[in-house]
Structure 1
Amino acid sequence: MSDHCILCQTVGGKLIYQNDFIRIINAQEPHYPAFTRVILQQHQVEMTDLPHQDRQRLMDYVYLVEQVQRDILQPYKINLAQFGTMVPHIHWHIIPRYQEDLHYPASIWSQSDKDMNAPDYLTFLEKQHTFLETYHQTLQERLHQFDSKTTK
């Protein structure tokens, strides 16, 4: 744990699930309601700082989140990202993408020339919010199942 790391000091978003190894949060990005992060509980900066077994375990969680997003949200594409430039603590972004989203096809961190108040866009965004409860609930169930299988 680091006294200077925001991910060591705060949850980092709305908590969906945690155990002693990871926590999974909703990033609470207004235009990307299901934007999810998998955050390593221990303070490590780079993936290669982890033993091979822990790297694989972390990625298993990332892939599980991706699969639940595909199953429940049915996005056009999913973006996986692990930067850590601004927050040097291992965490992965799992972002469902749709052709209707505000930044498509560019990165969500890019400038958008789309109108965020357009009726079609607002309808799309409202529809995304309707899936959140089911997505979070399904994700929690599958994470519990995964943890019960891997800790035996």
Structure 2
Amino acid sequence: MTDCPLCRPDKETALWSDTRCRVILVDDPDYAGFCRVIWQQHVKEMTDLTETDRGHFMAVVFAVEQALRESMHPDKINLASLGNQVPHLHWHVIPRFADDAHFPDPVWAMRKRDHRMIRTDRILLAEQLKRRLGELRQRKTGR
């Protein structure tokens, strides 16, 4: 698939990567901390991965969730793997707050309230998440 936007990253804020997957901070004004964990190769379904690769991928998703919880203290974390428009494995990891624009509904639902004033410095948040992800992965791998 040559036109896949996840195969050809453009202007991503990369937080962490290895040979199998990468973590990016999504530029969404409603959702500071919205991250995407993307499998590096074009793969359509989780069951197309080996068991080892699935385990690695999910370990990274869970590390992102943990880093977001520790950095932002959200009311909830949403994990979603949809891929209907882009059939390339990726997970959305979205910190949710009771006063966000869509809560308690999904971020893709109709807006329930006006845009919440996000008081998060994006550069500082990216640096915090990079550091936390590095620490979490280092702790898990022992390196």
| TM-score greater than 0.5 by the shorter chain | yes
Post-superposition offset of 1:47: 0.3
Q: What code does the residue aligned with 1:81 have?
A: A
Matches within 5 A, 1:22-101: 22-101=21-100
**Aligned residue number for residue 16 of structure 2:** 17
Match of 1:143 among 133, 138, 141: 133
Q: Alignment partner of 1:139: what SS? A: helix
* Cα distance, 1:114–1:149 mapped onto 2, change above 3 Å: closer
* Normalised TM-score (structure 2): 0.88
Q: Alignment partner of 1:8: what SS? A: coil
Q: Is the 8 A contact 1:68 1:135 kept in 2?
A: no
Question: Using the alignment, how far apart are the partners of 1:46 and 1:17 within structure 2?
Answer: 22
* Cα distance, 1:144–1:32 mapped onto 2, change above 3 Å: same
Which protein shows a greater Rg? 1
Post-superposition offset of 1:7: 0.7
Q: What code does the residue aligned with 2:87 have?
A: P
CA RMSD after TM alignment: 2.0
Q: Is the 8 A contact 1:12 1:27 kept in 2?
A: no
Post-superposition offset of 1:136: 2.4
Q: Which is richer in helix?
A: 1
Question: Using the alignment, how far apart are the partners of 1:13 and 1:138 within structure 2?
Answer: 17
Q: Alignment partner of 2:105: what SS? A: coil
* Normalised TM-score (structure 1): 0.84
Post-superposition offset of 1:143: 3.2
* Cα distance, 1:55–1:100 mapped onto 2, change above 3 Å: same
Unaligned 5+ runs, structure 2:
none
**How many residues align structurally?**
142
Post-superposition offset of 1:68: 0.7
Post-superposition offset of 1:38: 0.4
Unaligned 5+ runs, structure 1:
none
Question: Using the alignment, how far apart are the partners of 1:11 and 1:76 within structure 2?
Answer: 31
Q: Is the 8 A contact 1:72 1:134 kept in 2?
A: no
Q: Is the 8 A contact 2:36 2:90 kept in 1?
A: yes
Work out which structure has the larger RCO, using CA pairs closer than 8 Å and 6 or more positions apart in sequence.
Answer: 2
